[in-house]
């Protein structure tokens, strides 16, 4: 398992009370908003969907698998695992990886409503704490022209984002509406749920000592 210290809170995983089990820079940047020291560890989980696995079930399974994988190595820490799968009529849409695949994804989603299934899990092996939740985000895409799709992709190059769009950037211009009860879920980490689960697990972001 590879490990990467957080740039603002460089905590060695062996000493960390909190670990983000993800290589996503978007999730790392979001977690920094809670002002808690944390380490970052790659969970190295196989993300291949099971045959016929619904997007929400896939996201839930992977989020928990990531948290458990890192918690097994660092049993004293609270470990956050998260995964996001775009859901178009029950079909999973992942990260495009290439320009061509991103064009195909946005073309399929224009004028449609896509549910971004953002799953979260928090695990501490030593205490036995384990919780998970799903933060679905309903996103309605505009009826985009081919030229708009091309301009957006060339400008922002969101090839590492599920659904080929960054709502926190120019991608907001692709959309007609966003419906969510956890504002950061669409970016990749639902912080309302994260803060709640950490409190339940004994770590309070609003306590100077971090104790719940």
Task: Tell me which residues are annotated as active site.
Answer: 83
d(CA 43, CA 70): 6
User: Residue with structure tokens 């190595």?
Assistant: 73
Q: What are phi and psi of 136, to 5 degrees?
A: -70, 140
The tokens of 64 are what? 């928990």
d(CA 114, CA 185): 14
Is 156 in a helix, a strand, or coil? helix
The tokens of 161 are what? 């984002």
Do residues 81 and 67 make contact, with C-beta atoms less than 8 angstroms apart? Answer: yes
Cα dihedral sign, 171-95-72-133? positive
CB atoms within 10 A of CB 172: 11
Distances 76 to 79, 123, 129, 146, 184 between C-alpha atoms, Å: 9, 10, 11, 51, 27
- 208 strand-pairing partners: none
């Amino acid at each position: 398992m590879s490990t990467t210290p957080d740039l603002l809170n460089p905590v060695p995983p062996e000493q960390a009370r909190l670990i983000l089990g993800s290589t996503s820079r978007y999730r790392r940047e979001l977690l920094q908003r809670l002002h808690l020291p944390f380490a970052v560890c790659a969970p190295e989980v196989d993300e291949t969907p099971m045959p016929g696995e619904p997007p929400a079930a896939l996201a839930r399974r992977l989020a928990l698998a990531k948290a458990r994988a890192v918690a097994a190595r660092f049993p004293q820490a609270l470990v956050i695992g998260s995964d996001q799968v775009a859901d178009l009529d029950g079909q999973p849409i992942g990260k495009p990886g290439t320009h061509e695949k991103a064009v195909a994804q946005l073309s399929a989603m224009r004028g449609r409503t896509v549910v971004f299934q953002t799953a979260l899990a928090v695990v501490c092996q030593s205490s036995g704490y384990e919780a998970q939740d799903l933060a679905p985000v309903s996103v309605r895409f505009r009826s985009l022209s081919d030229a708009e799709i091309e301009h957006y992709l060339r400008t922002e190059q969101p090839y590492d984002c599920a659904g080929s769009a960054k709502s926190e950037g120019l991608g907001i211009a692709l959309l007609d509406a966003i419906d969510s009860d956890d504002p950061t879920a669409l970016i990749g980490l639902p912080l309302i749920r994260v803060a709640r689960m950490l409190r339940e697990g004994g770590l309070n972001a609003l306590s100077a000592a971090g104790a719940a």
